Amino acid sequence: MIGGKDLVTKPYLELLAADELEAIHNASLRVLQEVGLAIDSEKALKLLADAGCKVSFSEHTVKIQPELVHELRKKLPASVRLYAREPESDLPLTDGEMYTRLSGNCLRVIDLQTGVGRLATTRDQEDFVKLSDALNNVNIISPPFATCDVPPEIRDIYGAECVLRGTRKHAHLPAYSSKNLELIIELASIVAGGADKLAKRPIVSFFGCPERALYYGDVADMIMKAASYNLPVGILPTVVAGGTAPITLAGMLVQSNAEVLCGALLVELTNPGTPVIYSTAPVNMNMKTGSPLLGTIEFGMMLAGIAQLARYYGFPSNVYGFGTDSKTLDEQTAFEKTFSLTLSALSGANIIYGPGVLESDITQSFEQVVIDCELLDTVRRLRRGITVDEQTLGLDVIGRVGPKGHYLRQEHTRNFLRTEYFFPELSDRTTRATWEKTGSKTITVGARERVRKLLAEHQTPELSNEVLSKMKTILRRAEKGIGQKAQRLR
């Protein structure tokens, strides 16, 4: 692993056979052409109508011909690069590269001092961004929380400001409305040094979620606005099996794929060549409670299918590979995250998001994000596979050692010791006697100590006083726009 990345040299895991992939593609085309989508945006409908789609302006619906999807694939950029405040943190989304990003807008946090869950505050937001900026295995930062101490209508703006101020890495940002997105883009332009510089090196990307099944509301305008600024756009249908999508796995893939293709078409018609990130998050529904489930094996299987579909069309992929329904740092969290992360990684997903998340994307944990980074390194080792060549086969060293010998003093052992095996920082592999002598620490305790050390030592990248002042002006404008002032808890 170099610089937090690795390159798969083995074939990807493919749960869908070639004919099954084609069947999902063809079914998606039929949904687009025969069923269509509802879009509450006159601008989007006109754009689609001008491109040759069958549009009903009175009913706010559109039906999209298969030919437009074929043309869409030709418009996609040959390569995608996510830019950062500091160029060494730029991310080329080439085939085989794997990165991670934070999940965004969680409501709760596991308190670092008490271990008790509570509503997240601005201070938690700042600390979590700082921790993530320090962790090499977190490459893309989203606002981890929808904080309780700022007005709900502009939590997205406050979250964007915190991320842009607190990290040198690429920022992947949500927006609650087109109006809010405009202010978020202004924030990003200030940090980038101007709108022209932001367009050339977009240090932020945007993700938009269709509001309901086969329906784009204000998100359609946000997608087009982001594209007009040349910002990479993640299309993120969050379909729920048996709720907002068919209950079958294949049916969920068909509907969410149709929604992604429609969103991608809006992006490319607005500004051809704008990067689109295939970001579907299909989840199961707990039929007893109605709540979404992110810790099931089927969820992991869907992530593998999404990565495969994205590659089929030529999109970079972004999947939720750290899903769990557990409420705390326990064995359930461990095995659910391991399943979803392993399936996502082996399927060749470019971006895997959600380190640190618990409780079906409601809660974030400082300790868990550190543990998840170690889990990620373990899976990276798995992705590298077993190298078979003249040196690793070891015939020379086997010949030198011979029967009844040992390999401890062999140069071959020294040469491969640190590259052939993964050595964790948190997992304890000592004897019980040594473990007990050093305090019998659990992995959670070790993770908590590491979090505190990183928060104490990491230096947040600085912005000039002029830039910070301009960013505060944007926040005041946002507050004025809703007639409230944030009561920030410190």
**What are the domain boundaries of the chain?**
73-384, 390-420
Could you tell me where the DSSP H helices lie in 271-365?
297-313, 331-346
- Residue 220 sits at φ, ψ, to 5 deg, of -60, -45
Question: Could you tell me which of 240, 244, 311 has the C-alpha nearest to residue 278?
Answer: 311
The residues, any chain, with a CB within 8 Å of residue 367's CB and separated by 6 or more, are 110, 112, 329, 444, 447, 448, 451
CB 232, CB 208: distance < 8 Å: no
For residue 358, list its beta bridge partners: 363
Place of tokens 């269509």: 36
Comparing CA positions, the residue from 445, 465, 422, 488 lying closest to residue 158 is 488
What pLDDT was estimated at residue 485?
Answer: 58
Q: How many helices (H) and strands (E) does the chain have?
A: 18, 20
For the chain, residues with pLDDT lower than 50 are: 1-5, 488-490
> Quick one: which of 216, 235, 277, 232 has its CA closest to 45?
216
Measured between alpha carbons, how far is 184 from 180 in angstroms, rounded to an integer? 6
Instruction: Take residue 54 and report the two structure tokens written for it.
Output: 């069958």
Q: Is 73-384 assigned to CATH 3.20.20.480?
A: yes
| Chain Cα centroid distance, residue 444 | 24
Long-range contacts of 92-96, Cβ-Cβ distance < 8 Å, separation of 24 or more: 93/275, 93/277, 93/316, 93/350, 93/351, 95/311, 95/348, 96/7, 96/8, 96/348
Predicted local distance difference test score (pLDDT) of residue 6: 55
The one-character DSSP state at 211 is: S
pLDDT, position 244: 92
Using CA atoms, how far apart are residues 129 and 144, in angstroms rounded to an integer?
8
Alpha carbon 453 to chain centroid distance?
Answer: 26
Task: Please name which of 360, 223, 358 lies closest in space to residue 279, comparing C-alpha atoms.
Answer: 223
Q: Taking the complete model, does pTM exceed 0.85, yes or no?
A: yes
What pLDDT, on a 0 to 100 scale, did the predictor assign at position 8?
54
Alpha-helical runs (H) found in 82-194: 122-134, 155-166, 178-192
Is the distance from CB of 439 to CB of 433 less than 8 angstroms? Answer: no
Evaluate whether 446 touches 426 at the Cβ level (below 8 Å): yes
How are the residues of the chain apportioned to helix, strand and coil, as percentages rounded to the nearest 5? 50, 15, 40
Q: What is the pLDDT of residue 490?
A: 32
For residue 11, the model assigns a pLDDT of 79
What is the per-residue pLDDT for 96?
A: 86
Give CA–CA dist 110/328, Å, rounded.
Answer: 8
Nearest-5° Cα angle at 243, 147 to 315: 70
DSSP 3-state assignment of 47?
helix
Residue 81 backbone dihedrals phi, psi, to 5 degrees: -130, 125
Give the tokens for residue 99: 């990165």
Separation of first and last alpha carbons in the chain: 39
Please give the pLDDT value at position 482: 86
CA–CA separation, 84 and 99 (whole Å): 14
